[in-house]
Structure 1
């Protein structure tokens, strides 16, 4: 079997599984386990969605039939999710409000992933050449390496990500380092 990192669809599906696992871990735990899982989930979602917005969605918009409609629907979901994720970051993970809000977020997250997996990814796999699939996977990994680690609502386009992303990424990564140093 080929390395999933060499095929953009396999890479994204693998990340979706990691996201699902972390979201379930957040939902069924409390205390430090929940907080740590939520922090990992938040970071993975931030870099994953940024890479999709910069690399995957632009390709889908051009390459698949009715691509603009499919991508626009995903971008609306991503914008909404970033807003909710930002709210959740500010809440006490052990509060009842967090649990209630996260449970709804988890359902929306599942729906978003399912839409991508049914409406976007298979069509990308059909339309892209093997070279494009490998190139897109490399581009996704490169985008994730320099992406912000916290959600930034309103940056759901390649141009906005490129304009805001580098400064946001530096600020986020400094914020993360300071948070870890404080314990």
Structure 2
């Protein structure tokens, strides 16, 4: 038997699912943290959501919009949700974790993030798997990674 193992790189759907899990964990971290850790966790969440959305806008939404009869509507709805989430995250960041309204605002934001991830996983991901060739899905993951690295270097 050959000792060589073929390494299969993740495709864009795998990458996005993994990022959704990271975002879910960061939401849990913010909710369950004390004051100082909550600030750090919120900053990490804002950064993770920003990079995730940046990659999605550039890499995932365009092919979804071209996929199937409802692709355009699904991509636009996911994009609109993402923009609202980023606005809400910015508002919470300005408000600060010590503000009396922060926790209630974060509960609403966290629910929106979880609903958005579920929406994408239910509606967008199947379109990508069905309409985009596997090789392109893998190239899209690489492109998203490159976009996120360039954003980190800014």
TM-score w.r.t. structure 2 length? 0.89
Q: Secondary structure, in 3 states, of the residue corresponding to 1:63?
A: coil
Q: Which runs of 4+ in 1 moved over 2 A?
A: none
| Cα deviation digits, residues 56-94 of structure 1 (max 9, x gap) | 000111133311100111111111111111111112213
Match of 2:3 in 1: none
Match of 1:102 in 2: 106
Equivalent pairs counted in the alignment come to 149
Alignment match of 1:7 (pick from 11, 15, 20): 11
Instruction: Determine whether 1:43 maps to 2:47.
Output: yes
Q: Is the 8 A contact 1:26 1:38 kept in 2?
A: yes
Q: Which runs of 5+ in 2 are unaligned?
A: 1-5
Match of 1:87 in 2: 91
| CA RMSD after TM alignment | 1.8
Matching of residues 14-53 of structure 1 within 5 Å: 14-53=18-57
What is the rounded CA distance, in whole Å, between the counterparts of 1:141 and 1:56 in structure 2?
12
What is the rounded CA distance, in whole Å, between the counterparts of 1:101 and 1:89 in structure 2?
11
Match of 2:75 in 1: 71
Instruction: Determine whether 1:126 maps to 2:127.
Output: no
What is the rounded CA distance, in whole Å, between the counterparts of 1:64 and 1:131 in structure 2?
19
TM-score w.r.t. structure 1 length? 0.76
